[in-house]
Amino acid sequence: MHELGIVFYIIDDAKKAATDNGLTSVRRVTLQLGEVSGVVPELLGDAWKWACAREPMMEGCELEVEDIPAVTHCEACGTDYGTVEHGRICPACGSDQTYLLRGREVMIKQIEAY
Ligand SMILES: [Zn+2]
């Protein structure tokens, strides 16, 4: 399960950040999640609850998810467009010389602990 692996990674990071700052309990983690990251937010939420219940430092910790829309850039005409709506082909000029600008992120933005 992909989501559980991500959750373990986030929890390790959050615990390390809290410990480094002399804190014992993580209250909230804010995660940035790209639209085409392949992570299912519902599964992530379930995995989060399951994993946090097994970690004393993480007990009752909230996971806040910020969605990042996927954007593709066209090298041929310079247009930025929505990846999910249009895919790899630029809607402005029809070129396939495009690359993903953002939308694959799975990134911790903020950790709150006390
Ligand atoms: Zn174009």
CATH number at residue 51: 3.30.2320.50
Domain tally for the chain?
Answer: 1
The answer to whether residue 58 is domain-embedded is yes
The answer to whether residue 31 is domain-embedded is yes
The answer to whether residue 23 is domain-embedded is yes
pLDDT digits (tens, 9 = 90+) for 32-76: 999 999 999 999 999 999 999 999 999 999 999 999 999 999 999
**Average pLDDT, integer, range 85-89:** 97
Q: Return the closest-CA partner of residue 111 out of 34, 35, 16.
A: 16
Ligand 1 centroid – CA 9 distance (Å) = 37
The answer to whether residue 97 is domain-embedded is no
The answer to whether residue 80 is domain-embedded is no
Ligand 1 centroid – CA 103 distance (Å) = 19
Q: Which domain holds residue 59?
A: 2-69+103-113
Other CB atoms within a 10 A radius of the CB of residue 54 amount to 9
